Amino acid sequence: MDKFVIEGQRPLRGAVEISGSKNAALPILAAALLSTEPLVIKNVPDLWDVHTMLKILGALGVTSSKNPAGEITLNVADEKPDTAPYELVKTMRASFCVLGPLLARRKRARVSLPGGCVIGPRPVDLHLKGLKALGARIEIEDGYVVAEATQLKGTEIYLAGANGSSVLATANVVMAAVLAEGKTTIINAACEPEIHDLMQCLNNMGARISGVGTPIVTIQGVESLHGAVHDVIPDRIEGGTFLVAGAITNSSIEVKKCRPAHLAAVVDKMSQMGIHVEMAAASCRVIPSAEIRPADITTLPYPGFPTDLQAQFIALLALTHGISLVTERIFPDRFMHIAEMGRMGARIRKEGATAVIEGVQELRGAPVMASDLRASAALVLAGLAARGTSEIQRVYHIDRGYESIEKKLNALGARIERTKDEE
């Protein structure tokens, strides 16, 4: 099992290019199930989760090929398979979004209940609610969701849960509705850029979706979709992570090939903390700040502050003089990184869904263990800023969502070595 060995307190400088969005690419890959014509997807990141999704699609009769430019071409070779197996779906929650397109195109889907990062309960009730509203018959059998429908029919669906809209539920329902008979209106659809990107891809394939990027989406069902070429948006979470890398190491870093508008809430919060970020058409540059102020942060659905950057900002706030509060409204149990940061000298306590952070003068290198994808990134950031050497175990988590993060950071001046854990 790989681990990172990080030599801390090295200044960073230069520019880094952001890869394609993991959270956009995964449902877009699943959209290949909706047509028998080729779907060509550009700017797909080279990640474990992408490899897992391609294996799942392979089990569902979809062939895939990648050219030297990194474009992935998907072709449906066999429409008979309808089962997404447990051994693959258990590793990645986003794989559950094959449910909607399978049901819409093949009239039956048998998909294992999903796994993924351990960040608290993540029920699939909204997925099932939306598909049932479209006319699907759904049962849970031996850990699998079994859904059937001779013909899905458009309807009005209110798609909201206790913590607001659901990105993956919106993806599943939209992909089912594009081949449903009649008009479907989704109220409280997720507005995240990744969902916007999926809808753009579906429209490129011949879907008729309006209200893209808003909480009220209308889908006029069509008989079939055709092939298309689609370019995945840049990963806003990777972009935000590198902005924090600059701030936590007091370094000037240019984040290139990003969409600054997708980082508006992040840049606004950094500005409140005294961190200046210069914005350009497709890049951001973080400017070192002599003194960073504490902050109160609450995670919210887009366009609010993203839950996927909560852990990274906690690492930054751990070195900020004063008391900061970070409240998690999306996944209230998403604080497993706190204990590991404590091993590095951070002073953080959890009170319900809020982390109370008392800033310290420095963090100290220590052996720590990653618990999930974004916690991994936070520990890397903490290691970059800490005095001494840090060892981060179980970095396979970070490989799920960051393309060659250690290589990108080393190119900026960090010293991170990937080695094998002796355990």
Q: Are 76 and 110 in contact (CB under 8 A)?
A: no
Active site residue 117: yes
The span from the CA of 166 to the CA of 400, in Å, is 21
Sequence-separated contacts (24+) of 161-166 with Cβ below 8 Å: 161/123, 161/125, 161/126, 163/329, 163/330, 163/331, 164/188, 164/300, 164/301, 164/329, 164/330, 165/189, 165/190, 165/191, 165/215, 165/301, 166/126, 166/127, 166/190
The one catalytic residue in 117, 191, 201, 284 is 117
The span from the CA of 102 to the CA of 111, in Å, is 9
The span from the CA of 44 to the CA of 24, in Å, is 9
What is the CA angle 10-11-12, rounded to 5? Answer: 115
List the beta strands (DSSP E) in 98-151: 108-112, 137-141, 144-148
Query: Which position has the token pair 């995964």?
Result: 26
Half-sphere exposure of 221 (CA within 13 A, CB side): 19
DSSP 299-325: B-STTSB-GGGHHHHHHHHTTSSSEEE
The span from the CA of 179 to the CA of 151, in Å, is 9
Contacts of 52 (CB under 8 A, 6+ apart): 88, 91, 92, 95
Helix (H, G, I), strand (E, B) or coil at 411: helix
DSSP 199-262: HHHHHHTT-EEESTTSSEEEEE--S----EEEEPPB-HHHHHHHHHHHHHTT-EEEEES--GGG
Catalytic residues: 117
